Amino acid sequence: IHADIVAPYLVELTTEVQRERWLPGFVSGEILTAIGMTEPSGGSDLAALKTTAVRDGDAWVLNGSKTFITNGYSADLVVVAARTDPDAKRGRGISLFGVEAGMPGFSRGRKLDKVGQDE
């Protein structure tokens, strides 16, 4: 997930400031990343996404929850999918956000027992 899935998002979809902030730690292994798309109510159907993001001045406020996030329990940075346009049809109106552990409102649930994870 860290190298194969998140890396292209960070390289291709971030601003120069975000790349300077996240890529050095990403490459050195100082930060671990994850991607938050799956939701408790909708599974992996991104078109049914319920997590929302609303602009508040220069910032965005995200509301929602994710589940089954590989690396999620220990990730320092999670790329989160959220609906930014509630009027858009199905798979449209969805954006990705870099959410750092420790940001206001960020919390982790219990560690889930999943196939392939011993610890």
pLDDT tens, the chain, 119 aa long: 899 999 999 999 999 999 999 999 999 999 999 999 999 887 678 888 899 999 999 999 999 999 888 888 899 999 999 999 989 887 789 999 999 999 998 888 887 776 665 55
Q: Where are the domains of the chain?
A: 1-100
Q: What is the pLDDT of residue 116?
A: 63
Tell the residue number behind the tokens 């798309």, with chain if given.
Answer: 37
**What CATH number should be reported for the domain whose range is 1-100?**
2.40.110.10
- Which one, of 75, 76, 86, lies nearest residue 53 by Cα? 86
Position 80, amino acid: V
